[in-house]
């Protein structure tokens, strides 16, 4: 059975551009009531024109996340906000560059999850957490292929593990909140993050970003298509259970665990 997202209160962190904005657009089209949290006020002004409410703030701020989640009590909280990782081989990383992504993505994930459990969100609510296909690789050859990504791969894997921890808390306390992980299995769209990450690998390989993406993934995956797939994850009851889901252009949504 399909879940109607009409009038559902949904909060999206990092919904001002890239994948977050694509999810916002897809969910607005389904009649959801969206609130976006991001830092850049000028980009938020553009999002408001689409019909979303906005809050200028930092998703790593626990007081902000607690307040917004307690006030809105969203039926869906999307923890999408993410920084751009510092791309360099392991011996060119300082602890500050390596841990930067942990101090943004993992920190925001921790406080977002805690806000959802503390409020608590209503039974049947969903918390979607942005991980990455980089967190899904376990063959040494492929991991080596991600060697410029520094702390990013482990940070995104940690967010995945945190969803399992949170589901443990939710079921132990009978809260009925389902924490789920979004795992794009190929790079998506043409976002700031994609240009930075794919650009670093393309430069090393001496090819264009487009050629790098074509060789690694076999074709593009647009932000729009990703937004549609995440909306399907929320509206199609087949995906109401399960923790981690892969997203890919030609194969759609896959249950990972
Ligand atoms: N694009 C891909 O191919 C891909 C693949 C795998 C995973 N992902 C994940 O998907 C998510 C979105 O990626 P993207 O490519 O759309 O990145 P993006 O274009 O760089 O957008 C990032 C968004 O997050 C916001 N943001 C960053 N830090 C924030 C903070 N501390 N507090 C509030 N908002 C913050 C940004 O707005 P402000 O800077 O204005 O705050 C922006 O709206 C990330 O978690 C990323 O790791 C992306």
Per-residue CA distances from 235 to 82, 109, 201 (Å): 24, 23, 36
Residue nearest (by alpha carbon) to ligand 1 atom 23: 14
Mutation probe of ligand 1 site: the residue of 12, 15, 19, 86 with most atoms within 8 A of C-beta: 19
**Separation between Cα atoms, residue 207 and residue 215, nearest integer Å:** 10
pLDDT band at 121 (very low <50, low <70, confident <90, very high): very high
Q: State residue 1's pLDDT score.
A: 63
In the prediction, which pLDDT does 138 show? 84
pLDDT above 80: residue 29? yes
CB atoms within 10 A of CB 17: 20
Q: What percent of the chain has pLDDT over 70?
A: 100
Neighbours of 72 (CB within 10 A): 18
- Lowest-pLDDT range of 6-15, 56-65, 160-169, 194-203: 194-203
At residue 164 the predicted structure's pLDDT band, cuts being 50, 70 and 90, is very high
Q: What is the pLDDT of residues 197-240, one digit of tens each?
A: 999 999 999 999 999 999 989 888 999 999 999 999 999 999 99
Segment 38-48 mean pLDDT: 98
- Report the Cα 222 to chain-centroid distance in Å: 15
Among residues 115, 232, 225, the alpha carbon closest in space to that of 177 is found at 115
**137-149, pLDDT tens digit by residue?**
888 988 898 999 9
Report the alpha-carbon angle 242-248-251, nearest 5. Answer: 85
Atom of ligand 1 nearest to the CA of 108: 31
Mean pLDDT score, 143-167: 96
Q: Is 18 in the pocket of ligand 1 (CB under 6 A)?
A: yes
- Answering whether pTM is above 0.85, one says yes
Q: What is the pLDDT of residues 51-94, one digit of tens each?
A: 999 999 999 999 999 999 999 999 999 999 999 999 999 999 99
Of 57, 50, 59, which is closest to residue 27 (Cα–Cα)? 50
φ, ψ for residue 4 (rounded to 5)?
-85, 125
Cβ of 110 closer than 6 Å to ligand 1, yes or no, is no
* Mean pLDDT for all residues in the chain: 96
Q: Which atom of ligand 1 is nearest to the CA of 17?
A: 43
15 Cα–ligand 1 center, Å: 8
Cα of 184 from ligand 1 centre, angstroms: 13
pLDDT above 90 as % of the chain: 93
Confidence bin at 97 (pLDDT 50/70/90): very high
Return the structure tokens found at 71.
């006030």
Q: Which two tokens stand for residue 14?
A: 């990092």
Q: With a 6 A CB cut-off, is 193 part of the ligand 1 pocket?
A: yes
**Ligand 1 center to residue 167 CA distance, Å?**
24
Q: Is the CB of 20 under 6 A from ligand 1?
A: yes
* Residue 174 alpha carbon to ligand 1 centre in Å: 32
């Amino acid at each position: 059975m399909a879940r109607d997202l009409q009038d559902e209160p949904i909060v999206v962190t990092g919904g001002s551009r890239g994948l977050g904005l694509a999810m916002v657009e897809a969910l607005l089209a389904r009649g959801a009531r969206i609130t976006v949290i991001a830092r850049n006020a000028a980009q938020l002004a553009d999002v408001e024109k689409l019909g979303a409410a906005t809050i200028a703030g930092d998703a790593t701020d626990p007081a902000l996340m607690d307040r917004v989640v307690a006030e809105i009590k969203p039926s869906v909280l999307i923890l999408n906000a993410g920084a751009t990782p510092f791309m360099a081989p392991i011996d060119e990383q300082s602890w500050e560059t390596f841990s930067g992504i942990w101090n943004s993505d993992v920190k925001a994930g921790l406080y977002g999850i805690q806000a959802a459990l503390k409020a608590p969100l209503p039974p049947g609510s969903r918390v979607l957490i942005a991980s990455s296909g980089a967190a899904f690789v376990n063959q040494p050859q492929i991991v080596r292929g991600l060697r410029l990504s520094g702390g990013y791969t482990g940070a995104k894997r940690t967010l995945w593990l945190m969803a399992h921890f949170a589901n443990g808390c939710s079921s132990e306390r009978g809260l009925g909140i389902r924490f789920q992980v979004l795992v794009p299995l190929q790079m998506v769209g043409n976002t700031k993050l994609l240009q930075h990450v794919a650009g670093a690998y393309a430069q090393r390989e001496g090819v264009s970003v487009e050629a790098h993406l074509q060789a690694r993934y076999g074709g593009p995956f647009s932000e729009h298509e990703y937004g549609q797939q995440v909306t399907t994850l929320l509206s199609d009851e087949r995906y109401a259970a399960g923790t981690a889901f892969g997203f890919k252009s030609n194969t759609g949504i896959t249950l990972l665990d």
